[in-house]
Structure 1
Amino acid sequence: MKKSIVLNLLLITFIISGCSKTEPNQINNGVNSFIWNGLNKFYLWQEKIPDLSDRKFSTDQQKNNYLATYNNPDNLFESLLYQRNIVDKWSWIVSDYVTLEQSFQGTTETTGMEFGLKRFKTNSSNVFGYVRYVVPGTDAANKGVKRGMIFTKVNGTTITDKNYRDLLFSKSNSYTIHLANYNSGDPITNSTTYSLSKSSFTENPIHIAKTIDEGGKKIGYLMYNSFTANFDSKLNLAFSKFKTDGVKDLIIDLRYNGGGSVRTATRLASMITGQFTGDIFAKQLWNKKYMSIVSPDALIDRFPDKIGNSEIINSLNLTNIYFITTGSSASASELIINGLLPHINVKTVGTKTHGKYVGSVTLYDSPNFTKSGVNQNHNWAMQPIVLEIVNKNNYNDKDGIDPTINIPESYGNMGVLGDKNEPLLARTIELITTGKRGSVYNKTIIELESIGNSKSNNPNYNNMYVDLK
């Protein structure tokens, strides 16, 4: 009897052990199949990738053998991208789509200190951070971190181009920054420190919405930091206030806005205007395979008059619009500018935009690649580039949008966002009130090389996305 029990236990152990070894491989093969099938159908540059060709495999077995050579889904995904970091700089894949979905809603792990990273003027391997803005209600806000602060060390270690990711984007829940004096681009560390803790926080992209009275004009000012769809009603409410205030000129500050939802961009376009309902705002250009099976009208983004089925869009019916931009203004930020160009007078103040003219879609492992019927064995999802987007006149700026008035931010004099004396806002107000286009900024402002910012590690960084139709 005792021998029988031992043999049965050994058999059970063998079965459990065998399952634990094969199950990950089965899941991995399923993920690889999902990756290939999704990219084969939707990837914008599918025709340029031999391994994504419809004629690549003669049999299912050949395809399975090919996929089995990749033990890591990330490696398969990367191998199928077109001229990675040259042409396709933006496609990505995640092993946990829950985190991805949260980022689309503006929810991330953050201290609330949004910063940029620049190389030193003299020793270019050294890096300093500068605070762009602070999200209200976060640890950084509660501890008194302010826009314009400069920091050169994290946890006592000098920031360099080799270690900044480890220092600022690790999984650690907290870090300490050491402030510095700007010193014309070669900051000198001082004795002030701030210890900051991360928490899960949903950022309202409407950072500032106010009306400025200047030169006999009612000028609306909106600092908008992300095209986050679940805040569209709040954006509409801000425009209701602009209407009540009698705003006739509007400044939209996109200097730190890396993009987001195309649908939100179309809604914002109608809030700015209102006289073009049903007209073409933008056109989506997918790969030939997808465009051959989908209705052409489904790939046209038109000016709407509602959010959803019932909420009426508050429109200002403007014929002039002013944007503040920098190299961090990307994707949907560039789309709103480009999409309005054929319809109204558009002027920009600041520096050249990022130059991202393509958009992505979330693909899940399901029969139709949507969330419906998703495979419950894993949480992998893809965000590949699937479309190029152009305006009504079939135009986009692939290298970024040049400003009407070129004026960079000065890291030694950042000013207060929303204050009419803040340098970029002041120059935009001057353009509105006087029409003066010539640059008048201090020519001694040094433009230093940027190597990233606090949102660089977010899954949603510099993204422009649509819903799969």
Structure 2
Amino acid sequence: MSKFFKKLKLLLLIVGTSIILGACEDKNENNPRRTLDPNEKVNTWIKDVMDEVYLWLESMRQPVALTSEPELYFESLLNRPTDRFSVIYPDYQELINQLQGVSLEAGYEILLARESETNNNIVAFVTYVKKGSPAEQAGVKRGDRIERINGERLTFDSYIRLLGNRSENHSITFFRYNNEAAAFQAQPAVSLTVTEIAEDPNFLDTIYQVNNEKIGYVVYHFFAPGTDNRYDNRMDQIFAEFQTEGIDHLILDFRYNGGGFVSSAINLASLIAPNVTSNDVFSKRLFNSFLMQFENFQNVETKFRSKSENLGSQLQGNRIYILTSRRTASASELIINGLKPYMDVVIIGDITTGKNVGSVPIEDEDDPDNKYGLLPIIFKDADKNGQSEFSEGFLPNIQGVELRNQNRLLPFGDTDELLLKLALDRIKGVQQAGARLKTFDIEIIGSSFENKAHYGKMVDMDPSIKTILKRKNQ
């Protein structure tokens, strides 16, 4: 039942009983109303929201007690395991900040792997270091192999607890690969402070010249417009430079891109798809059975933007190369799916996460004491032809897996780095690129990316959706 009907029913009840309540006022002076438990207020709001917007409305589960902790109450409603991504945050504003890449940390991301099948040791490989962060200032680099945090060895028994220390000031003991010795060598331990970092997702852009052809390369870590759209504007500048330089090929590196804002995905796709305008469909959107009763939630389409920096028409073979891993998710997959009807998308790396559904951040605008923020799954996206079957992930055209096919992480932009080399080989016409890759006995068991607010998220901040929801409930 929508809030509109609930409010109407409540209004009728109040009018119908006002005379009785007035007559009994003196008798009830010694029977004050029960004070509503704070959790009940929050959980009632959660249930009202989910009853209207949750994509799997018919499969929503019976909740636990209304007095339960809101995190537990919200979790009890979800259609697990189908729904892998709905989440609740204790603070809405903190959620928004994290989605924009603002967080308290030392500034380095990691992949976790077993050291060997013969012991319980865990090693953490640094995947990248954020610019201007304490980690960068301390000299930490991509490819460094961390074995100890605060002097204690990472093992199966300790690594979860020790990784929790990364949110506070901590020290790391690590090894760095020495090319001359062809081995990892111990480095002096470093102490790292944590600070608030506003991460720019535009990590690297460069141009290579191979066989008289120019290849543009962009490393993009998550989708966020930034304050005053500064991150989207920077991406526009990158493509304007590529356009001016006359690049013939484009490589997008999404290997660590777990998603983010739909608006930034549309912006990037609009720079790539050939000759698209604001009249062309990027994606189509489906909502639950309740919302689909309303006209504003029927036949919803997102359109490309007309961008003067678009360079799609100059790409050879109408083709783009996208580097992926199992951490490539959500808005990254939306880009892949949305571009496929318009051009040849060559995927190089590992199978992607598989997330074709999205969220809208929701706060309780009527109760300032309720700080919680919700990110429930409320829509499913498809391409312009209605194709949306990538919930199991996109399979690569050329497979290559970091640490499994190359036992160390080379710097981004190094032409010998595994995934970039596979893409360059494909562009150069190397036959069976990746067919003879080495395989190393390294088992990846996790990463720091899964803990990021934007990981696995396809977030729409379009105010029209919230306006429609609010208007419908008045």
Q: TM-score, normalised by structure 2?
A: 0.82
Deviation at 1:120, TM superposition (A): 2.9
SS of residue in 2 equivalent to 1:169: helix
Stretch moving more, 405-414 or 324-333: 405-414
Query: Could you tell me which residue of structure 2 aligns to residue 152 of structure 1?
Result: 147
Contact 2:252 2:322 in 1 (8 A): yes
| Residue identity in the other structure for 1:363 | I
d(CA) in 2 for partners of 1:197 and 1:179?
A: 16
> What are the equivalent positions in structure 2 for 1:154-233 lying under 5 Å apart?
154-170=149-165, 172-180=167-175, 190=186, 192-230=188-226, 231-233=231-233
Contact 2:57 2:289 in 1 (8 A): no
Contact 1:270 1:315 in 2 (8 A): no
RMSD: 2.5
Query: Could you tell me which residue of structure 1 aligns to residue 5 of structure 2?
Result: none
| Residue identity in the other structure for 1:39 | M
d(CA) in 2 for partners of 1:93 and 1:124?
A: 37
1:389-427 Cα offsets, whole Å, 9 max, x none, are 221232231111111111112363322211222221111
Question: Is residue 2:208 matched to residue 1:235?
Answer: no
d(CA) in 1 for partners of 2:176 and 2:416?
A: 22
SS of residue in 2 equivalent to 1:283: strand
Deviation at 1:165, TM superposition (A): 2.9
Query: Could you tell me which residue of structure 2 aligns to residue 464 of structure 1?
Result: 458
Question: Is residue 2:55 matched to residue 1:44?
Answer: yes
Query: Could you tell me which residue of structure 2 aligns to residue 127 of structure 1?
Result: 122
Deviation at 1:239, TM superposition (A): 0.6
5+ residue gaps, structure 1:
1-21, 53-65, 307-311, 367-373
d(CA) in 2 for partners of 1:248 and 1:203?
A: 30
Taking a change above 3 Å as real, the CA distance of residues 418 and 376 of structure 1, as seen in their structure-2 partners, is same
d(CA) in 1 for partners of 2:300 and 2:177?
A: 48
Deviation at 1:297, TM superposition (A): 6.4
Contact 2:284 2:299 in 1 (8 A): no
Query: Could you tell me which residue of structure 1 aligns to residue 16 of structure 2?
Result: none
Deviation at 1:100, TM superposition (A): 0.4
Question: Is residue 2:368 matched to residue 1:382?
Answer: no
Contact 2:104 2:167 in 1 (8 A): no
Question: Is residue 2:320 matched to residue 1:321?
Answer: yes
Contact 2:176 2:187 in 1 (8 A): no
1:117-153 Cα offsets, whole Å, 9 max, x none, are 1223314743210011111111111111111111121
Deviation at 1:443, TM superposition (A): 2.5
Contact 1:282 1:392 in 2 (8 A): yes
1:313-338 Cα offsets, whole Å, 9 max, x none, are 54443421001111111111111111
d(CA) in 2 for partners of 1:426 and 1:164?
A: 32
d(CA) in 1 for partners of 2:58 and 2:247?
A: 49
Residue from 69, 72, 77 that aligns with 1:72: 69
Query: Could you tell me which residue of structure 2 aligns to residue 391 of structure 1?
Result: 383
Query: Could you tell me which residue of structure 1 aligns to residue 94 of structure 2?
Result: 99
Contact 1:274 1:305 in 2 (8 A): no
Deviation at 1:266, TM superposition (A): 1.5
Query: Could you tell me which residue of structure 2 aligns to residue 59 of structure 1?
Result: none
d(CA) in 2 for partners of 1:71 and 1:354?
A: 32
Query: Could you tell me which residue of structure 2 aligns to residue 420 of structure 1?
Result: 415
Taking a change above 3 Å as real, the CA distance of residues 234 and 288 of structure 1, as seen in their structure-2 partners, is same
Q: TM-score, normalised by structure 1?
A: 0.83
1:348-375 Cα offsets, whole Å, 9 max, x none, are 1111111122211111113xxxxxxx42
Query: Could you tell me which residue of structure 2 aligns to residue 11 of structure 1?
Result: none
Taking a change above 3 Å as real, the CA distance of residues 196 and 441 of structure 1, as seen in their structure-2 partners, is farther
Contact 1:408 1:445 in 2 (8 A): no
Deviation at 1:444, TM superposition (A): 2.6
SS of residue in 1 equivalent to 2:203: strand
Question: Is residue 2:30 matched to residue 1:30?
Answer: no
1:271-323 Cα offsets, whole Å, 9 max, x none, are 012412222221222111112214356721221115xxxxx554443421001
Taking a change above 3 Å as real, the CA distance of residues 237 and 321 of structure 1, as seen in their structure-2 partners, is same
Taking a change above 3 Å as real, the CA distance of residues 225 and 34 of structure 1, as seen in their structure-2 partners, is same
> What are the equivalent positions in structure 2 for 1:257-268 lying under 5 Å apart?
257-268=257-268
Taking a change above 3 Å as real, the CA distance of residues 436 and 210 of structure 1, as seen in their structure-2 partners, is same
SS of residue in 2 equivalent to 1:425: helix
Taking a change above 3 Å as real, the CA distance of residues 119 and 393 of structure 1, as seen in their structure-2 partners, is farther
SS of residue in 2 equivalent to 1:415: coil
SS of residue in 1 equivalent to 2:62: helix
Query: Could you tell me which residue of structure 1 aligns to residue 395 of structure 2?
Result: 402
1:221-256 Cα offsets, whole Å, 9 max, x none, are 000001112211111111111111111210000111
Contact 2:426 2:433 in 1 (8 A): no
| Residue identity in the other structure for 1:457 | N
Q: Identity rate of aligned residues, in percent?
A: 32
Query: Could you tell me which residue of structure 2 aligns to residue 371 of structure 1?
Result: none
Deviation at 1:26, TM superposition (A): 4.4
Contact 1:239 1:316 in 2 (8 A): no
Deviation at 1:210, TM superposition (A): 1.0
| Residue identity in the other structure for 2:393 | G
Question: Is residue 2:366 matched to residue 1:363?
Answer: no
Residue from 411, 425, 434 that aligns with 2:429: 434
1:22-63 Cα offsets, whole Å, 9 max, x none, are 97x5432221111001111111111112538xxxxxxxxxxx
> What are the equivalent positions in structure 2 for 1:297-316 lying under 5 Å apart?
299-305=300-306, 313-316=309-312
